[in-house]
């Protein structure tokens, strides 16, 4: 079960004020009304293939609607989700969600240029004595947000967007990646599952742009993301989720145990195996591009370390996808269990072993403990002291190395090929 803390992190800042600015004015111009329905025109849904993280995908779509330059790739990298490898101890596909296990949302929320107010309603929480008033307030906030041209983010096990309303905000016109792969809008009260049919766990309303003094610098966000990436590599496990090198170890052990006949019901883990393999490739491709772009903002060793990391992530994705049209061609979904041969499993084992090797440079060793290849980047431009590589301490405090150049869940339904995030 996703930890309730994620909504606290999702709420970057609670507040409400008048909206102004070019992006917001343009958003208001996209609000349409007909036949009792008010909606924001031009806001498209997305599939799990386009955005594997539905949480960050929803944030990215809102940013697009507001004309903000921050993109999905920035969000999953700032959050360190792009650097995480994670599997559930029983291979639940929820391991591919940024809120499960080692949570990967806080730093991305710091990067958001808007304040957000969140209306929480977890099914496991105590019942609200003022439930009717709470729902009325949330519906009024949704109506107000749509009227301003700002989509509303709602969350269950997977996240979607409210892009319109009827009945004074009490009915919601939505898009969701797990309803027809985000291709068609729908009324929230007319569907079931991840997309609707019940009051959401959380509703996030973007209220106003953050003032300059509340906006984190890109440099600080980059440093925080890489520091979290290092920490995740050595964390081993959070709740029922293996992380970092321990995730690779558990993943490979499970596949080898299936080969040895030691797993009673391998079909039960096939969805998680396929989805985590897909997400791994999807994330590493984006991380490679992002790290290479970030390198242009730093000088000397810091830039070199980032480019080395970018190259390794690109090679990792290439190794995992070589000869495949889609990750699910190798890591089959459960309904194809009869086709999941030993040859396919051995192929996946070989690719994961190669991916694990790319994830760690043998050249960096400390007492037999492997150090992620981007650790040197963290050492080079972090403001904090580094405990593993004493030779980097001087670099941590060197402005010459940190200054930019002068001019510059629940079980998911089986994925069809069209929903291969790793193949994009």
DSSP state of 157: S
Q: Give the Cα-Cα-Cα angle 38, 44, 50 (nearest 5 degrees).
A: 155
Separation CA 409–CA 97 (nearest Å): 8
What pLDDT score does 21 carry?
46
For the record, the structure tokens of 25 come out as 């004015």
Separation CA 295–CA 404 (nearest Å): 9
Residue from 231, 290, 288 nearest 111 by CA: 290
What pLDDT score does 298 carry?
83
Separation CA 264–CA 358 (nearest Å): 32
Cβ proximity of 204 and 156 under 8 Å: no
Rg for the chain, CA atoms, rounded:
22
Domain boundaries, the chain: 5-70+112-210, 218-423
Cβ proximity of 209 and 21 under 8 Å: yes
What's the residue count for the chain? 424
Q: What's CA 142's distance to the chain center, in Å?
A: 24
Give, in order, the Cα–Cα distances in Å from 114 to each of 57, 78, 97, 206: 16, 16, 23, 6
Residue from 198, 199, 155, 206 nearest 177 by CA: 155
Q: Between helices 342-359 and 300-321, what is the axis angle to 10°?
A: 180
Contacts of 350-354 with C-beta under 8 Å, sequence gap 24+, read 351/319, 351/320, 351/322, 352/248, 352/251, 352/252, 352/255, 352/320, 353/252, 354/316, 354/319, 354/320
Q: For the residues of 342-411, what is the DSSP string, one character each?
A: HHHHHHHHHHHHHHHHHHEEEEEEETTEEEETTHHHHHHH-SS--SS-GGGHHHHT-HHHHSPPTT---P
End-to-end CA, the chain: 29
b/e sequence 388-398, b meaning 16+ C-beta within 10 Å: ebeebeebbee
Q: Which residues on adjacent β-strands are paired with residue 166?
A: 171
| Residuewise pLDDT in 10s, the chain (424 residues) | 444 333 333 333 323 333 344 455 566 679 999 999 999 999 999 999 999 999 999 999 999 999 999 999 999 999 999 999 999 999 999 999 999 999 999 999 999 999 999 999 999 999 999 999 999 999 999 999 999 999 999 999 999 999 999 999 999 999 999 999 999 999 999 999 999 999 999 999 999 999 999 999 999 999 999 999 999 999 999 999 999 999 999 999 999 999 999 999 999 999 999 999 999 999 999 999 999 999 988 888 888 889 988 999 999 999 999 999 999 999 999 999 999 999 999 999 999 999 998 765 433 333 444 545 555 555 444 433 232 222 222 232 233 333 333 332 333 333 333 346 665 5
């Amino acid at each position: 079960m996703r930890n309730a803390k994620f909504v606290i992190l999702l709420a970057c800042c609670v507040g409400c004020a008048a909206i102004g600015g070019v992006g917001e004015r343009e958003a208001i111009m996209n609000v349409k009304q007909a036949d009792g329905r008010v909606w924001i025109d031009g806001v498209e849904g997305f599939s799990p293939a386009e955005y594997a993280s539905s949480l960050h995908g929803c944030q990215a779509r809102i940013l697009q609607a507001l004309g903000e330059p921050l993109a999905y790739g920035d969000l999953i990298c700032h959050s360190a989700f792009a650097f995480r490898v994670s599997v559930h101890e029983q291979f639940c596909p929820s391991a591919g969600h940024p809120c499960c296990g080692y949570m990967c949302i806080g730093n991305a929320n710091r990067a958001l240029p808007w304040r957000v107010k969140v209306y929480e309603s977890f099914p496991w929480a105590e019942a609200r004595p003022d439930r009717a008033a709470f729902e009325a307030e949330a519906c009024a906030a949704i109506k107000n947000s749509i009227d301003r041209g700002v989509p509303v983010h709602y969350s269950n096990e997977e996240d979607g967007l409210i892009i319109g309303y009827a009945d004074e905000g009490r009915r919601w016109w939505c898009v969701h990646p797990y309803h027809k792969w985000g291709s068609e809008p729908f009324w929230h009260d007319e569907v079931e599952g991840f997309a609707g049919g019940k009051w959401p766990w959380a509703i996030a309303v973007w209220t106003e742009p953050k003032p300059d003094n509340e906006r984190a610098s890109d440099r600080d966000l980059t440093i925080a993301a890489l520091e979290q990436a290092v920490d995740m590599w050595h964390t081993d496990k959070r709740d029922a989720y293996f992380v970092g090198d321990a995730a690779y170890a558990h993943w490979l052990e499970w596949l080898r145990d299936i080969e040895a006949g030691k797993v009673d019901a391998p079909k039960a883990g096939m969805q998680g195996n396929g989805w985590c393999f897909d997400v791994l490739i999807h994330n590493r491709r984006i991380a490679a591009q992002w790290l290479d772009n970030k390198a242009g903002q730093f000088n000397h060793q810091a830039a070199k370390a980032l480019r080395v990391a970018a190259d390794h992530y690109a090679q990792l994705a290439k190794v995992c996808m070589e000869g495949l049209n889609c990750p699910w061609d190798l890591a089959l979904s459960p309904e194809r269990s009869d086709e999941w041969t030993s040859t396919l499993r051995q192929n996946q084992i070989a690719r994961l072993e190669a991916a694990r090797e790319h994830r760690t440079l043998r050249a960096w060793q400390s007492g037999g403990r492997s150090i992620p290849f981007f650790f040197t980047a963290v050492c080079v431009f972090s403001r904090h002291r580094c405990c593993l590589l004493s030779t980097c301490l001087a670099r941590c405090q060197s402005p010459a190395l940190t200054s930019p150049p002068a001019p510059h869940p629940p079980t998911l339904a089986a994925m069809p090929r069209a929903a291969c995030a790793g193949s994009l």
